[in-house]
Amino acid sequence: QVQLVESGGGLVQAGNSLRLSCAASERSFSFYPMGWFRQAPGKEREFVASISWNGGSTYCADSVKGRFTISRDNAKNTVYLQMNRLKPEDTAVYYCARRNLLYGIWGTDSSEYDYWGQGTQVTVSS
């Protein structure tokens, strides 16, 4: 069973950057698209970014486009979320997840993701 472990969250001031990492426990991770989602207190979980299985295509939500970048290193079984120019409204628990579509491209629908990490807290102060 695939396990996903996020890291890299923390407390930062608005305008600064953070890089989140998501490490998978199995090599098979490399054959699936991956995504990042976030959930703020009192709000529903929302899509942030997703990447195809080979890293060839990516997609980001409008709210983070131009500020966040998703990437992956399949040799390290790791996916990243580089977050620049952070805003207080980016404060949330960030989750990585595997999209259940072998050799698939990115996707925004959380119901298509089958394995989820435990989440990492990102807090942006104003």
Q: How confident is the model at residue 114 (pLDDT cuts 50, 70, 90)?
A: very high
- Give yes or no for residue 1 having a pLDDT over 90: no
Q: Closest by alpha carbon to 3, among 94, 104, 90, 114?
A: 114
Mean pLDDT over residues 100-107, rounded? 96
pLDDT digits (tens, 9 = 90+) for 43-53: 999 999 999 99
Taking a C-beta distance cutoff of 8 angstroms, is the pair 97, 119 a contact? no
pLDDT digits (tens, 9 = 90+) for 61-78: 999 999 999 999 999 999
Q: Is 84 helix (H, G, I), strand (E, B) or coil?
A: coil
